[in-house]
C-alpha cells in the first residue's frame, strides 16, 4: 500500500538515515571538528540509534574534552536509554561548558523532571532565568516544572507568557490546555482567537473544540468563531456557528440517480433489551439505533473532491455542492473549498473515506472495509481513495484476507482533486452511521459473507487485556485475576499477536471477555454462539461490539464498571480514564454466562 505523500515525519527520518554514511565519512576527513561528531550523534539520536549516538559522542569527547555540544548529545543518548543519573550529570556539564545556550538548560530540566527531582529542576530554572530573562523556551520549561509540582495556575501563567512572547503553536496549544484546566475559558478563547486570526496556525482541535463547548453562547467571542473559519471544517463547530447565525450551505443530493446497494431494515430490538436497566450512555443511545436507511451508490462526472481535516465535500463544475459529510460545513467554508490547492487530476476514483480516519482498528473493519470490498468487487479497475491514511500493520493482511490488492488503495491528502469519474457510497457522506451502518445486516454482509469459520475444535476462554499506555484499563486488575482464572479465562494482549494470529485466536474462542476497545473488533471472526462479555467504563462506549455480536449471532452480555472518582477534564478523558470493576459483580455475571 503506498504511503501517504504528506507524512513529513517519515520523510525527515528517511533523510536523517541517508545522512549517516556521509557524516561517518566526514569524521575521517581532516580537519576533524567537534561539530561533525555532534551532528552525527544528533542524527543517530533522532533515528533511535541511541547506543551508537553514545559511542560517537564519547569518541568525540576523547578529542574535544571541553565540547558542550558533545556533552549535550551524550546526555540525550543516555536520557533515551533511561540512564537518567548519567544523563543529568552530562547535561549539567554541558551547561557549564556552554552557559549561554538554552538547549542545555532545556535538557537538564527535562531530565530532572523525569526523575521527579523538582528541587534540581528549580535550581537550573533559576539559573536559566538569570541568563535568559523572558526566554520563551525557558518559560515553557518553567511551566512544565510547575505543572509537575501540581501548581496549574502558575504553569498556565508562564506558558501564556511564553506564547505572548513567541506566538508558536507549541506554546499556544499548551497554554490553551492549561487555561482550560484552570477554567480560564475567556483566556483560552482569546489566545486561540489571536492565533487563528493572526497566525492562522493549525492549532490542536481538541482544545478548540473544548473551548467551543464551554462558551455559553454562539454570540460570545464572535471573533473566535470567525477565526475558526480559517481552519478546515470540523463537525463539532457547526452547532456553535448556527447559534451565531452562520448559515449551512444548500447542497444537491443526487438521490434520484443513486443505485441501491443495501436495503435498510428494522433495527433488532434485542440490542436495546440487552442494555435495558443498565446506567450507561449506550443504554440510552441504542434505543435510537436506526439501520433503516438504504445504502446507495452515487456516481459523479467532472467534479472537484475537496478533502478537509474532518470530512469532505464534492463541488460540481457549476460550483454547487453536490455532496458533503454533513453537518461539517457552513456556507463560508465553500469559499475555503474552492480556494484549496488542486493536488491532482484523476480519471477514476472510488472514494471510501469518511469523517474518521482508517487507522483505528475498529473503524477500519466496520466502516471502511465494507466500502473497500464493495469497490473491489464492483469497480475492479478503480483505485480506492482514503483520507488520513497512515499505514498500519493490520491494513495489508486484512485487505488480502478479504481479496483486495493493497496496491489498489490510494492515500489522499487534504486539498482538492479534480475527478472525471467519481463513485461514493452514501455511508461516506450525509448518511454515515458507525458500525456497519448501525447494524444493517444487508450492508454488513458485504464483509460477513467472506468470513469463513475455522473447523478447529479447540475451545478457548480468553480475557482481552489492554496496554497501560492506551488508558481505559482496570485499576483493580490484580483483584479480578482470581475470578478470571477461576472460570478458565486466560489473559492475552492482542497487540503481541499478528493479525493472522488474532484471527485464529478468536476463531477458537468459546468465551471472550474484554474491556470496551478495538481488540473486540475481532469478534467478527468468532464462531456463532460464542459468548461475549464486554466491560464498559462508566461514562464511555459505543454500540459497535454489541452490533458485531448481533450480526455474528454471538451471545452478548454487557457489564458496567465504576469510576475512580475523577471529574471534569478534557472531552476525551472519559474514554481514557482507568476504572474499577467489582469482582463480585463480574463473578456473578460469569457464573450466569459460562
Q: Are 407 and 264 in the same domain?
A: yes
Domain for residue 165, yes or no? yes
Q: Is residue 10 part of a domain?
A: no
Between CA 97 and CA 72 the distance in angstroms is: 10
CA-CA distance, 336 to 244, in Å (whole number)?
19
Q: Does residue 452 form part of some domain? A: no
Last residue of one domain, picked from the residues 422, 446, 470: 446
Is residue 5 in a domain? no
* CA geometry: angle 281, 287, 288, nearest 5 deg: 100
Last residue of a domain, one of 201, 219, 243: 243
- In this structure, the answer to whether residues 222 and 265 fall within a common structural domain is no
Residues 6+ apart with CB under 8 A from 132: 102, 105, 138
Angle subtended at Cα 593 by Cα 560 and Cα 445, rounded to the nearest 5 degrees = 80
Q: Which CATH number does the domain housing residue 64 bear?
A: 1.25.40.10
For residues 142 and 162, give the distance between their C-alpha atoms in angstroms, rounded to a whole number. Answer: 10
Same domain, 233 and 281: no
φ/ψ of residue 323, rounded to 5: -160, 155
**Rounded alpha-carbon distances, angstroms, from residue 109 to 29, 62, 133, 137, 428:** 36, 26, 16, 11, 47
Could you tell me if residue 52 is inside a domain? yes
CB atoms under 10 Å from CB of 145, counted, come to 22
Residue pLDDT tens, the chain, 594 long? 433 333 333 333 344 555 556 656 665 554 467 888 898 899 888 888 899 999 999 999 988 999 999 999 999 999 999 999 999 999 999 999 988 887 888 899 889 888 888 888 888 888 887 888 888 888 888 888 788 778 899 999 999 999 999 888 889 989 998 998 888 988 998 888 888 876 565 677 778 877 887 777 655 677 888 888 777 777 777 777 777 777 777 665 556 678 999 999 988 888 889 998 888 989 988 888 888 889 999 999 999 999 987 788 898 888 888 776 655 677 777 877 888 889 999 999 999 998 888 999 999 999 999 999 999 999 999 999 999 898 899 999 999 999 999 999 999 998 999 999 999 999 998 778 889 999 999 999 999 999 987 766 678 999 998 877 677 888 888 889 989 999 999 999 998 899 999 999 999 999 999 999 999 999 999 999 999 999 999 888 999 999 999 999 999 999 999 986 544 444 345 677 889 999 999 999 999 998
Strands (E), 394-446: 409-412, 415-425
- Given a contact cutoff of 8 angstroms between Cβ atoms, the answer to whether 353 and 312 are in contact is yes
H helices, E strands: number in the chain: 27, 15
Residue 132: its pLDDT value, please?
A: 81
User: Residue 105 is placed in which grid cell?
Assistant: 538548560
Nearest to 282 by CA among 480, 435, 463, 427: 435
Does a structural domain hold residue 540? yes
So what's the pLDDT on residue 524? 96
Question: What is the spatial distance between Cα 323 and Cα 307, in angstroms, rounded to a whole number?
Answer: 12
Neighbours of 446 (CB within 10 A): 22
Residues 343 and 489 in one domain: no
Q: Is residue 7 part of a domain?
A: no
Segment (H or E) for 556? strand 555-560
pLDDT for position 2: 38
SS3 56: helix
Range of the domain at 120: 19-243
- Residues 233, 259, single domain; the answer is no
**Among the listed residues 296, 314, 302, 404, the one whose alpha carbon sits nearest the alpha carbon of residue 348:** 302
Would you say 238 and 355 are in contact if contact means Cβ atoms under 8 Å apart? Answer: no
Find out whether 378 and 408 touch, Cβ atoms under 8 Å.
Answer: no
Query: Are 549 and 418 found together in one domain?
Result: no
- State the Cα–Cα distance between residues 211 and 205, nearest whole angstrom: 10
Question: What confidence score (pLDDT) does residue 485 get?
Answer: 92
Q: Strand, helix or coil at 147? A: helix
Query: How many Å apart are CA 58 and CA 198, to the nearest integer?
Result: 46
Phi first, then psi: give them for residue 133, nearest 5 degrees: -65, 130
Q: How many CA atoms lie within 13 A of 522 on its CB side?
A: 26
pTM tops 0.75: no
Q: What is the CATH number of the domain that holds 521?
A: 3.40.50
For the chain, the straight-line distance linking the first and the last C-alpha, in angstroms and rounded, comes to 42
Q: Are residues 574 and 494 in the same domain?
A: yes
Is the CA virtual torsion 205, 208, 210, 216 positive or negative? negative
Same domain as 346, residue 232:
no
How many whole angstroms separate alpha carbon 434 and alpha carbon 369?
12
Using only C-alpha atoms, the chain has a radius of gyration, in whole angstroms, of: 27
CB of 112 closer than 8 Å to CB of 88: yes
> Which residue shows C-alpha cell 440510552?
284
What is the C-alpha separation between 56 and 287, in angstroms, rounded? 63
Domain final position from 243, 273, 299 = 243
Do both 60 and 202 map to the same domain? Answer: yes
Separation between Cα atoms, residue 319 and residue 313, nearest integer Å: 12
- Structural domains of the chain, count: 3
- Considering the domain architecture, whether residues 468 and 334 belong to the same structural domain is answered as no
Picking from 75, 21, 63, the residue whose alpha carbon sits closest to that of residue 43 is 21
| Residues 509 and 432 occupy one common structural domain | no
Residue 3 lies in a domain: no
Q: What is the DSSP string of 58-122?
A: HHHHHH-TT-HHHHHHHHHHHHHTT-HHHHHHHHHHHHHH-TT-HHHHHHHHHHHHHTT-HHHHH
Do 234 and 281 lie in a common domain? no
Centre a 10 Å sphere on the Cβ of residue 43 and count the other Cβ atoms it contains: 21
Determine how β-strand 312-316 pairs with β-strand 295-307.
Answer: antiparallel
From residue 462, alpha-carbon distances to 225, 450, 525, 532 in Å are 49, 24, 14, 10
Amino acid at each position: 500500500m503506498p504511503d501517504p505523500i504528506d507524512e513529513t515525519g517519515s520523510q525527515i527520518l528517511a533523510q536523517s538515515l541517508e545522512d549517516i554514511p556521509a557524516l561517518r565519512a566526514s569524521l575521517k576527513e581532516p580537519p576533524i571538528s567537534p561539530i561533525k561528531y555532534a551532528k552525527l550523534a544528533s542524527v543517530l539520536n533522532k533515528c533511535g540509534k541511541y547506543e551508537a549516538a553514545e559511542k560517537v559522542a564519547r569518541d568525540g569527547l576523547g578529542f574535544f574534552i571541553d565540547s558542550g555540544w558533545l556533552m549535550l548529545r551524550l546526555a540525550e543518548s543516555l536520557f533515551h536509554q533511561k540512564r537518567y543519573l548519567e544523563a543529568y550529570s552530562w547535561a549539567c556539564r554541558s551547561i557549564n561548558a556552554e552557559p549561554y545556550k538554552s538547549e542545555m538548560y532545556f535538557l537538564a530540566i527535562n531530565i530532572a523532571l523525569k526523575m521527579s527531582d523538582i528541587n534540581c529542576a528549580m535550581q537550573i530554572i533559576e539559573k536559566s532565568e538569570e541568563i535568559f530573562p523572558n526566554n520563551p523556551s525557558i518559560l515553557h520549561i518553567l511551566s512544565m516544572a510547575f505543572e509537575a509540582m501540581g501548581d496549574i495556575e502558575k504553569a498556565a501563567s508562564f506558558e501564556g507568557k511564553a506564547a505572548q512572547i513567541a506566538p508558536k503553536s507549541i506554546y499556544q496549544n499548551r497554554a490553551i490546555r492549561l487555561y482550560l484546566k484552570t477554567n480560564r475559558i475567556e483566556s483560552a478563547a482569546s489566545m486561540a482567537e489571536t492565533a487563528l486570526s493572526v497566525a492562522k496556525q493549525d492549532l490542536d482541535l481538541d482544545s478548540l473544540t473544548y473551548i467551543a463547548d464551554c462558551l455559553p453562547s454562539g454570540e460570545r467571542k464572535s471573533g473566535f468563531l470567525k477565526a475558526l473559519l480559517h481552519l478546515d471544517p470540523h463537525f463539532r463547530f457547526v452547532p456553535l456557528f448556527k447559534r451565531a447565525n452562520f448559515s449551512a450551505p444548500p447542497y444537491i443530493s443526487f438521490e434520484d440517480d443513486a443505485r441501491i446497494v443495501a436495503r435498510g431494515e428494522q433495527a433488532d430490538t434485542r440490542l436495546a433489551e440487552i442494555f435495558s436497566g443498565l446506567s450507561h450512555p449506550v443504554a440510552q443511545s441504542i434505543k435510537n439505533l436506526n439501520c433503516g436507511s438504504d445504502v446507495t451508490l452515487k456516481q459523479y462526472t467532472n467534479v472537484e473532491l475537496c478533502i478537509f481535516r474532518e470530512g469532505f465535500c464534492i463541488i460540481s463544475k457549476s460550483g454547487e455542492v453536490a455532496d458533503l459529510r454533513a453537518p461539517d460545513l457552513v456556507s463560508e467554508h465553500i469559499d475555503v473549498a474552492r480556494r484549496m490547492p488542486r493536488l491532482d487530476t484523476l480519471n477514476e476514483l472510488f472514494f471510501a473515506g469518511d469523517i474518521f480516519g482508517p487507522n483505528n482498528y475498529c473503524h477500519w473493519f466496520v466502516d471502511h472495509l465494507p466500502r473497500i470490498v464493495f469497490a473491489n468487487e464492483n469497480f475492479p479497475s478503480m483505485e480506492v481513495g482514503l483520507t488520513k491514511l497512515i499505514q498500519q500493520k493490520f491494513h495489508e493482511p486484512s485487505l488480502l484476507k478479504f481479496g483486495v490488492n493493497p496496491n489498489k488503495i490510494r492515500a489522499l491528502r487534504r486539498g482538492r482533486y479534480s475527478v472525471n469519474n467519481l463513485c461514493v457510497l452514501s455511508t461516506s457522506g450525509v448518511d454515515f452511521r458507525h458500525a456497519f451502518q448501525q447494524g444493517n445486516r444487508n450492508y454488513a454482509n458485504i464483509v460477513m459473507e467472506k468470513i469463513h469459520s475455522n473447523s478447529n475444535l479447540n475451545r478457548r476462554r480468553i480475557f482481552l487485556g489492554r496496554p497501560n499506555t492506551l488508558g481505559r484499563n482496570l485499576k483493580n486488575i490484580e483483584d479480578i485475576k482470581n475470578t478470571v482464572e477461576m472460570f478458565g479465562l486466560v489473559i492475552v494482549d492482542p497487540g503481541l499477536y499478528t493479525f493472522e494470529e488474532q484471527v485464529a485466536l478468536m476463531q477458537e474462542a468459546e468465551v471472550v471477555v474484554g474491556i470496551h476497545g478495538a481488540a473486540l473488533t475481532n469478534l467478527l471472526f468468532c464462531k456463532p454462539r460464542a459468548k461475549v462479555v464486554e466491560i464498559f467504563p462508566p461514562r464511555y462506549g459505543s454500540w459497535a461490539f454489541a452490533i458485531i455480536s448481533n450480526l455474528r449471532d454471538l451471545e452478548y452480555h454487557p457489564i458496567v464498571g465504576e469510576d475512580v472518582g475523577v471529574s471534569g477534564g478534557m472531552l476525551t478523558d472519559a474514554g481514557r480514564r482507568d476504572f474499577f470493576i467489582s469482582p463480585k459483580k463480574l463473578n456473578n455475571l460469569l457464573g450466569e454466562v459460562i
